[in-house]
């Protein structure tokens, strides 16, 4: 299943997918996100979230740990030259309840300490440098090079990094957070309801494969969807 698609003509696109289960009052709508995009992409997502009954979002506190290096590259890369902005959705303005089933600061700090020291140092040093390179010299195509996400490619990547230092990083960035998210979605599925509830799941695209597997186990199936353009390459065509 494709979550983020990268093509020469369409650019980078996000697959918004609706999951329903016969007899269930809950509808889950998955919004695979990336950290940088055109302002129009985030505006479209923001507008669609207003129709939801509940929005489930990610959000970890890395400010007091070295783990903030994980976010520094895209924060520095956002620039007027590229025409891209950092993801900043105004959840308070939605008028919709928001749920954040994510790691707290203590959990992030503990997970960061389990990442091998050499990898931590490399991230602290090179993530900001990569962000600055993108900001001043990079291109949209360079940024998009590793953005494509589908369930098969992620599974292959995890198999390649199993038992390595990167595996410890994935435990922090993906596995622990995936588990919290799945537990929250399972609880929403079990909640007694008197009326239909649309649950929007707004998470990084890398979290979507386990979410889909979890929903399939609960009996939900994809019933509808659409592509939203994250950014195009039109301004970079020769």
Residue 238 included in any domain: no
Does some domain include residue 172? yes
**Is residue 85 in a domain?**
yes
d(CA 202, CA 71): 17
Q: Is 219 left (phi over 0), alpha (psi -120 to 50) or beta?
A: left
Question: pLDDT tens digits for 227-238?
Answer: 999 999 976 544
Question: What mean pLDDT is predicted for residues 209-235?
Answer: 95
Let me know if residue 237 belongs to a domain. no
Per residue in 69-104, pLDDT tens? Answer: 777 777 888 888 999 999 989 999 999 999 999 988
Residue 144 pLDDT greater than 80, yes or no: yes
In a domain, 189, yes or no: yes
Which DSSP string corresponds to the chain? -EEEEEETTTEEEEEEEEEE-TT-SEEEEEEEE-SEE-HHHHHHHHHHHTT-SEEEE-----TTSGGGHHHHHHHHH-BTTTTBEE----GGGG-S-EE-----HHHHHHHHHHS-HHHHHHHHHHHHHHHHHHHHT--HHHHHTTT-EEHHHHHHHHHHHTTSHHHHHHIIIIIHHHHHHHHHHHHHHHS--SS-EEEEEEEEGGGHHHHHHHHHHTT-EEEEEEEEEEE-SGGG--
Looking at the domain assignment, is residue 107 inside a domain? yes
Tokens of 120: 């931590």
For residue 130, give its domain range. Answer: 2-232
**Is 186 contained in some domain?**
yes
- pTM above threshold 0.85: yes
Residue 159 confidence (pLDDT): 66
What are the start-end ranges of the E strands in 100-215?
149-150, 197-204
Domains contained in the chain, number: 1
């Amino acid at each position: 299943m494709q979550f983020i698609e990268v093509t020469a003509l369409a650019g980078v696109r996000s697959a918004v997918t609706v999951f329903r289960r016969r007899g269930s009052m809950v509808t889950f709508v998955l919004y695979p996100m990336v950290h940088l995009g055109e302002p129009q992409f985030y505006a479209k997502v923001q507008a669609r979230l207003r129709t939801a009954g509940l929005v489930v979002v990610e959000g970890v506190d890395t400010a007091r740990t070295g783990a903030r290096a994980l976010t520094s590259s895209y924060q520095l890369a956002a620039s007027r030259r590229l025409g891209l902005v950092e993801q900043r959705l105004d959840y308070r303005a939605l008028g919709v309840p928001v749920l954040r089933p994510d790691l707290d600061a203590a959990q992030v700090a503990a997970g960061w300490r389990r990442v091998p020291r050499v990898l931590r140092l490399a991230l602290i040093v090179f993530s900001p440098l990569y962000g600055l390179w993108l900001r001043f010299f990079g291109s949209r195509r360079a940024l998009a090079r590793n953005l494509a996400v589908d369930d098969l490619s992620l599974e292959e990547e995890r198999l390649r990094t199993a038992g390595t230092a990167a595996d410890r990083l994935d435990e922090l960035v993906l596995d622990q957070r995936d588990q919290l998210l799945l537990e929250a979605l399972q609880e929403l599925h079990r909640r007694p309801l008197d009326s239909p509830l649309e649950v929007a799941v707004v998470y990084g695209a890398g979290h979507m494969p386990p979410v889909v597997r979890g929903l399939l186990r609960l009996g939900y199936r994809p019933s509808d969807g659409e592509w939203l353009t994250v950014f195009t390459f039109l301004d970079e065509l020769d």
